[in-house]
């Protein structure tokens, strides 16, 4: 099973690239976002997902392991094949996709080529909880050890900020600062209120 290729980019097409590895050319299918990071004639390291079928072996290439993991997750949804998975990753980077799914933004998901309203709704429905769990795990790691009640409040507060339209990294940072300013037994409402204060422009905070 091929997991990574290191070589020189020989050729780039609309949705594929040809990488020369010690004289052997491998065709890999990539998202437009990944292809934009490579240039013909330059050295490249590409993370690979190998799909073996009865009639072919296809290699799908990614700029990093995180994008590859998203591809694998997206293609678990019924109706999301490899082409649609790459199309979605061509529109959204990993952080953007996490934010869009955590906030259940079906309209944003449907911006990807080949994704209609029904499929967008299915993607959000099937992946929202998985993505929220990942997102909240990142919040917990950023804050360090917490007791169970604090961890629950932090997760809910960060999720609420994401649902209000803030980016995942913004929400994590705001909740981290909010908890530092409050006691460990702060309520979800207190964390959201303080988190919003942290997210407000500096001038607004000074005036308040």
Say what the alpha-carbon torsion angle 15, 80, 163, 149 is, to the nearest 10 degrees.
Answer: -120
Task: List alpha helices for the chain, DSSP H.
Answer: 32-35, 65-74, 82-91, 94-102, 106-109, 117-143, 148-163, 168-181, 188-199, 202-207
43 C-beta neighbours (distance < 10 Å), count: 11
pLDDT at 135: 57
Question: Which residue(s) pair with 131 in the sheet?
Answer: none
Contact 39, 61 (CB under 8 A): no
Mean pLDDT per block of 10 residues along the chain (208 residues) reads 94 96 97 94 96 91 91 94 96 85 86 95 87 58 54 76 77 81 83 90 53
- DSSP conformation class of 185: T
Residue-level pLDDT at 178: 87
Two tokens at 79?
């109706």
pTM of the model: 0.69
For residues 169 and 102, give the distance between their C-alpha atoms in angstroms, rounded to a whole number.
Answer: 12
Architecture, CATH, for domain 1-63:
Beta Barrel (2.40)
Which residues are CB-neighbours of 71 under 8 A, at least 6 positions away? 49, 60, 62, 82, 85, 86, 89
Enumerate the domain spans of the chain.
1-63
| pLDDT for position 167 | 72
How high is the pLDDT of residue 142? 55
Q: Distance (Å, rounded) from C-alpha 84 to C-alpha 111?
A: 11
Query: Hey, which residues does 153 pair with through a beta bridge?
Result: none
């Amino acid at each position: 099973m091929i997991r990574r290729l290191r070589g020189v980019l020989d050729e780039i097409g609309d949705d594929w690239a040809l990488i020369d590895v010690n004289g052997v050319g491998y065709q890999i299918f990539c998202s437009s976002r990944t292809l934009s990071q490579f240039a013909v004639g330059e050295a490249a390291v590409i993370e690979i997902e190998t799909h073996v079928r009865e009639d072919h072996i296809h290699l799908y290439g990614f700029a990093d392991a995180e994008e590859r993991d998203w591809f694998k997750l997206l293609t678990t949804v019924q109706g999301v094949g490899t082409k649609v998975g790459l199309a979605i990753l061509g529109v959204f980077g990993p952080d953007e996709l996490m934010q869009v799914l955590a906030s259940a933004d079906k309209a944003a998901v449907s911006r990807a080529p080949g994704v209609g309203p029904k499929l967008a709704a299915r993607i959000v429905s099937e992946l929202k909880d998985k993505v929220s769990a990942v997102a909240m795990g990142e919040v917990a790691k950023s804050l360090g050890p917490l007791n169970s009640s604090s961890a629950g409040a932090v997760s809910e507060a960060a999720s609420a900020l994401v649902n209000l339209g803030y980016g995942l990294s913004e929400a994590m940072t705001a909740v981290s600062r909010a908890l530092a300013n409050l006691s460990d037994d702060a309520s979800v409402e207190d964390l959201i209120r303080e988190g919003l204060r942290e997210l407000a422009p500096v001038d607004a905070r000074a005036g308040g």
